[in-house]
Amino acid sequence: MSAHRHQTPLRGAKATPKPRADDPSYTAVNYEYAGKTGHVHEVVTIGGRELAKIGFDDKKIVYYLLDDLVIEATPDRRTFHDDP
Q: Is the pLDDT of residue 1 over 80?
A: no
- Residue range 2-82 forms a domain whose CATH class is mainly beta
The per-residue pLDDT for range 6-29, each reduced to its tens digit, is 557 788 899 999 999 999 999 999
The per-residue pLDDT for range 42-68, each reduced to its tens digit, is 998 888 899 999 999 999 999 999 999
The domain ranges of the chain are 2-82
Tell me 80's DSSP state: G
Instruction: Determine the Cα–Cα distance for residues 81 and 63; give it in Å rounded to an integer.
Output: 17
Amino acid in position 74 = T
DSSP H or E stretch at residue 41: strand 38-46
